[in-house]
């Protein structure tokens, strides 16, 4: 019988899918495996269900052994995987697109509202038992209606964020490697702009591109300087797309208006400067963190493994 290693606890329904085709070993420690632990754990595996913190590269494949057929990442992002090195060794790589789109878009919008309506600050005020009373100038935020949302990467999640923004009365601009389909542009009334123009003109800039060598530090000092002094940066994609030190400095210096961050450059660490600022809403990488979504992600990863191990096509393969 085939052997599948799952590098971190997943919902039982996903394990059940795997058990139909393989003997399953779940690593149930309460932290990511170290690189050495990971390599030791996957020895002899035909399939691996991996997490976004697992580094999957040539050494990983060597450690697993020549029988390894598939690595299923329980994430839509796959920057933790050296895809050419792994697929080049005959191993299928899969991810979990689609099932987390709405949950991630909801969180992006929730964090955005948290900054613009000062919800974190308001909660901290009440929890610290600071005296307050209603008056017309008390804790004023900013409205989103009529403002422009600039989306970097109008893929599935970017589009889902844009739909929410439209419901809030926002205008949509976007940039990215390629133009969206005409129907998408028409539905969202989205205007394609070169990146520098989008950065200069948007009131909110929301990042939805994958982390690659060309998007690492896409938002750096120069990009932050190009933005409006009131601009808000939303990042629910991958931390290293933003130069976190440069962002903290821009926020501290009042060069931009705020930030809504679910992901960080060196997770689980967060730049201490960001933690001090009231105009920053932060969450610990919770984009897909609903019970329904995480279950769907794990089940999709399991179905990908089961498909490959039974000689069928994977449902959501990663190709480069
Ligand atoms: C992903 O899927 O890439 C998210 O970051 C975690 O859900």
Ligand 1 within 6 A of 75 CB? yes
Percent of residues, the chain, with pLDDT higher than 70: 100
The pLDDT assigned to 320 comes to 77
Catalytic residues: 238, 267, 285
For range 280-284, the mean pLDDT: 98
44-55 pLDDT, tens digit per residue, is: 999 999 999 999
Q: What is the mean pLDDT of the chain?
A: 98
Cα(195)–Cα(219) distance, integer angstroms = 11
How many residues make up the chain in this entry? 320
197-211 pLDDT, tens digit per residue, is: 999 999 999 999 999
Cα(80)–Cα(17) distance, integer angstroms = 24
123-136 pLDDT, tens digit per residue, is: 999 999 999 999 99
Percent of residues, the chain, with pLDDT higher than 90: 99
In ligand 1, the atom with minimum distance to the C-alpha of 96 is 2
Mutate to test the pocket of ligand 1, among 72, 73, 261, 287 (most ligand atoms within 8 A of CB): 287
Q: Is residue 67 a contact partner of residue 199, using CB atoms and an 8 Å limit?
A: no
Tokens 């964090």 — which residue?
111
DSSP string, the chain: -EEEEESS---HHHHHHHHTTEEEEE---SSPPPHHHHHHHTTT-SEEEE-TTS-BSHHHHHHH-TT--EEEESSS--TTB-HHHHHTTT-EEE---STTHHHHHHHHHHHHHHHHTTHHHHHHHHHTT------TTTT-----TT-EEEEE--SHHHHHHHHHHHHTT-EEEEESSSPPPHHHHHHHTEEE--HHHHHHH-SEEEE-PPP-TTTTTSB-HHHHHHS-TT-EEEE-S-GGGB-HHHHHHHHHTTSS-EEEES--TTTT---HHHHT-TTEEE-SS-TT-SHHHHHHHHHHHHHHHHHHHTTPPPSSB---
What residues have CB less than 8 Å from 177, skipping those under 6 apart?
Answer: none
Question: Among 313, 302, 309, 297, which Cα is nearest to 77's?
Answer: 297
Cα(115)–Cα(125) distance, integer angstroms = 15
Cα(238)–Cα(242) distance, integer angstroms = 8
For range 244-253, the mean pLDDT: 98
In ligand 1, the atom with minimum distance to the C-alpha of 74 is 2
The pLDDT assigned to 133 comes to 98
Cis previous bond, 268, omega within 30? yes
The pLDDT assigned to 23 comes to 98
Q: Where are the domains of the chain?
A: 2-97+291-309, 101-282
Residue 288, both tokens: 């897909």
* Among protein residues, the one whose CA lies closest to atom 7 of ligand 1: 288
pLDDT band at 310 (very low <50, low <70, confident <90, very high): very high
Q: Do domains 2-97+291-309 and 101-282 have the same CATH topology?
A: yes
Query: What CATH architecture does domain 2-97+291-309 belong to?
Result: 3-Layer(aba) Sandwich (3.40)
Cα(5)–Cα(60) distance, integer angstroms = 13
For range 32-61, the mean pLDDT: 98
Q: Is residue 283 a contact partner of residue 107, using CB atoms and an 8 Å limit?
A: yes
157-176 pLDDT, tens digit per residue, is: 999 999 999 999 999 999 99
Mutate to test the pocket of ligand 1, among 49, 75, 240, 264 (most ligand atoms within 8 A of CB): 75
pLDDT band at 270 (very low <50, low <70, confident <90, very high): very high
Q: Is residue 208 a contact partner of residue 155, using CB atoms and an 8 Å limit?
A: yes
Query: What CATH architecture does domain 101-282 belong to?
Result: 3-Layer(aba) Sandwich (3.40)
91-143 pLDDT, tens digit per residue, is: 999 999 999 999 999 999 999 999 999 999 999 999 999 999 999 999 999 99
Please, what is the end-to-end C-alpha distance for the chain in angstroms? 31
Answering whether pTM is above 0.85, one says yes
Measured in Å, residue 77 CA sits from the centre of ligand 1 at: 6
For range 231-237, the mean pLDDT: 98
**HSE-up of residue 149 (Cα within 13 Å, Cβ side):** 33
Ligand 1 within 6 A of 165 CB? no
């Amino acid at each position: 019988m085939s052997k599948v290693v799952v590098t971190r606890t997943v919902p039982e329904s996903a394990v059940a899918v795997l058990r139909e085709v393989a003997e399953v070993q779940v690593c149930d420690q309460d932290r990511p495996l170290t690189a050495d632990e990971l390599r030791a754990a996957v020895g002899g595996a035909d399939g691996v269900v991996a997490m976004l913190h697992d580094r999957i590269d040539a050494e990983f494949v060597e450690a697993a052994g020549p029988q390894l057929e598939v690595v299923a990442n329980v994430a839509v992002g796959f920057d933790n995987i050296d895809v050419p090195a792994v697929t080049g060794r005959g191993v299928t790589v899969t991810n979990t697109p689609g099932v987390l789109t709405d949950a991630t878009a909801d969180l992006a919008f929730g964090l955005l509202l948290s900054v613009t309506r000062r919800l974190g600050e308001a909660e901290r005020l009440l929890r610290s038992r600071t005296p307050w009373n209603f008056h017309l100038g008390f804790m004023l935020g900013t409205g989103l209606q009529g403002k422009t949302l600039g989306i970097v990467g109008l893929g599935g999640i970017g589009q889902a964020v844009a739909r929410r923004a439209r419901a809030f009365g926002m205008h949509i601009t976007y940039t990215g490697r390629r133009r969206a389909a005409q129907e998408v542009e028409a539905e969202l009334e989205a205007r394609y702009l070169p990146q520098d123009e989008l950065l200069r003109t948007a009131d909110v800039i929301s990042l939805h591109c994958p982390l690659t060598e060309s998007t690492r530090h896409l938002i750096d000092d120069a990009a932050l300087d190009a933005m409006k002094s009131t601009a808000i940066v939303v990042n629910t994609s991958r931390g290293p797309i933003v130069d976190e030190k440069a962002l903290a400095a821009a926020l501290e210096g009042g060069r931009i208006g705020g930030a809504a961050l679910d992901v960080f450059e060196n997770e689980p660490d967060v730049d201490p400067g960001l933690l001090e600022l009231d105009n920053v809403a932060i969450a610990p990488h919770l984009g897909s963190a609903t019970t329904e979504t995480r279950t769907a992600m794990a089940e999709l990863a399991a179905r990908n493994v089961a498909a490959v191990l039974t000689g069928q096509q994977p449902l959501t393969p990663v190709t480069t």
